[in-house]
């Protein structure tokens, strides 16, 4: 099976595999990657769906949604944080928890440790999730946002631990926990320790529930594997962006296993909403307002 993911470090190797499947997505890049590699930063971005040239200024005003075709463009963790939290309200937490290399994992002669350092330098993010306290329309929240460009947003020990601790803090303070998921699944470089994060984050959701802290899970393109199979699917309210692909194993693997052609909208947010796995599909432009309305309803 061919891996056709563009790796941020320019190597087309196997490091984008989730635990059980290789994501099929091609050329998944953040908005920053696009501006770096294709056109001068700060001017234009090409929509990967309709190929229209869009000015960064217009996109910023439209929450990075294509004005021509409604494609919800891939954006960085920091842009998500600024979209959902009130200005300057976000205070990062648990950034002291750093990635280790418990298995001394190597692929094609490259060590996991070196890969992490290289990505940290290139992307200026230290892991595949950022968590912190913030306010959303003046409501105090704990916010967790995943970063897909960091090893496919995969969940290893640091991702799981940061999310769990943020959930615990939200439960202790009895405030809402909001998560933005975007992930290829569990991180194979950490073996069984990464699978353990599924249980840990799921336990975190139960803590939130016992404390009466609402958990709103926002699922964005793409969310697969161990993240779908743990906390992302356990929100009190589960919201997806339009046309998000959400699943466990990828469609190619499933099609090969069942030997049947899959329906056209297989694993799409729209089909999952129809079948009761999601509560809402919300356009990014309306997301912050929708979140504050939901929290206000749940508070009363
Ligand atoms: Zn477009």
292 CA → ligand 1 middle, Å: 28
Please report whether residue 158 resides in a domain. yes
- Axis crossing angle, helix 77-84 with helix 284-299, rounded to the nearest 10: 50
**Do 63 and 88 belong together in one domain?**
no
Rg of the chain over Cα atoms, rounded to whole angstroms, equals: 18
Examine the domain organization and report whether 57 and 197 are in the same domain.
no
Q: How far is the CA of 6 from the centre of ligand 1 (A)?
A: 20
Q: Is residue 25 part of a domain?
A: no
Tell me, what CATH number does 208's domain have?
A: 3.90.226.10
Residue 3 tokens read as 């891996």
Residue 122 lies in a domain: yes
Is residue 59 domain-shared with residue 118, that is, in the same domain? no
Domain co-membership, 81 together with 37: no
Indicate whether 255 belongs to any domain.
yes
Region 137-152: mean pLDDT is 97
106 CA distance to ligand 1 middle (Å): 39
CA distances from 192 to 21, 107, 185, 187, 196 (A): 16, 17, 13, 9, 6
Mark whether 140 and 200 lie in a shared domain: yes
- Cα–Cα dist 267/284, whole Å: 20
Find the 49 Cα to ligand 1 centroid distance in Å.
Answer: 5
**Segments of 8-105 assigned E as strands:** 44-46, 53-55, 91-93
Residue 22 counted as domain residue: no
pLDDT in tens, 205-250: 999 999 999 999 999 999 999 999 999 999 999 999 999 999 999 8
- Domain presence at residue 229: yes
47 CA distance to ligand 1 middle (Å): 5
Q: Which of 73, 102, 130 is the last residue of a domain?
A: 73
**91 shares a domain with 117:** yes
- pLDDT at position 132: 98
Shared domain for 43 and 86, answered yes or no, is no
Model confidence at 2: pLDDT above 60: no
Task: For residue 199, give its domain range.
Answer: 75-299
Last residue of a domain, one of 73, 101, 125: 73
Say if residue 39 is in the same domain as residue 81: no
Tens of pLDDT, residue by residue over 9-63, are 333 434 444 444 434 444 455 555 544 444 445 688 889 899 999 999 999 999 9
CA of residue 60 to ligand 1 center, whole Å: 14
Q: Are residues 211 and 242 in the same domain?
A: yes
User: Where is the domain boundary, 73, 92, 125?
Assistant: 73
Q: Is residue 10 part of a domain?
A: no
Of 194, 27, 25, 35, give the one whose Cα is nearest residue 105: 194
How remote is the CA of residue 137 from the centroid of ligand 1, in Å?
29
Q: How far apart are the first and last CA of the chain?
A: 52
Are 202 and 270 contained in the same domain?
A: yes
56 shares its domain with 107: no
* C-alpha 24 – ligand 1 centre gap (Å): 20
Q: Are residues 107 and 229 in the same domain?
A: yes
Indicate whether 107 pLDDT > 50. Answer: yes
pTM of the shown model: 0.86
CA distance 26 to 7: 10
From the CA of 44, how far away is ligand 1's center (Å)?
13
CA distance 233 to 239: 10
Domain membership flag for residue 257? yes
Domain count, the chain: 2
Strands (DSSP E) found in 137-269 = 139-146, 177-183, 215-223, 237-240
């Amino acid at each position: 099976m061919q891996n056709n993911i563009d790796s941020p470090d320019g190597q087309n190797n196997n490091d984008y595999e989730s635990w059980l499947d290789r994501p099929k997505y091609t050329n998944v890049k953040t908005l920053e990657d696009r501006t770096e590699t294709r056109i001068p930063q700060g001017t234009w971005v090409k929509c990967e769906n309709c190929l229209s040239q869009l000015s960064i200024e217009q996109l910023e005003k439209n929450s990075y949604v294509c004005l021509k075709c409604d494609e919800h463009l891939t954006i960085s963790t920091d842009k998500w944080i600024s979209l959902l939290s009130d200005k300057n309200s976000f205070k990062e937490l648990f950034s002291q928890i750093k990635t280790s290399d418990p298995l001394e994992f190597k692929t094609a002669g490259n060590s996991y440790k070196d890969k992490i350092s290289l990505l940290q330098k290139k992307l200026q993010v230290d892991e595949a999730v950022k968590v912190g306290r913030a306010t959303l329309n003046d409501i105090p929240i704990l916010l967790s946002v995943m970063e897909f460009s960091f090893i496919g947003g995969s969940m290893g020990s640091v991702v799981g631990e940061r999310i769990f601790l943020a959930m615990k803090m939200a439960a202790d303070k009895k405030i809402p926990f909001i998560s933005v998921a975007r992930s290829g699944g569990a991180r194979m470089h950490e073996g069984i320790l990464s699978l353990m994060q599924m249980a840990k984050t799921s336990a975190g959701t139960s803590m939130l529930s016992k404390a009466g802290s609402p958990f709103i899970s926002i699922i964005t393109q793409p969310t697969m594997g161990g993240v779908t199979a743990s906390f992302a699917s356990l929100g009190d309210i589960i919201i997806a962006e339009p046309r998000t692909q959400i699943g466990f194993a990828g469609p190619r693997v499933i099609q090969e296993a069942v030997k049947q052609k899959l329906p056209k909208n297989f694993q799409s947010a729209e089909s999952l909403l129809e079948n009761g796995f999601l509560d809402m599909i919300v356009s990014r432009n309306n997301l912050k307002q929708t979140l504050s309305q939901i929290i206000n309803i749940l508070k009363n």
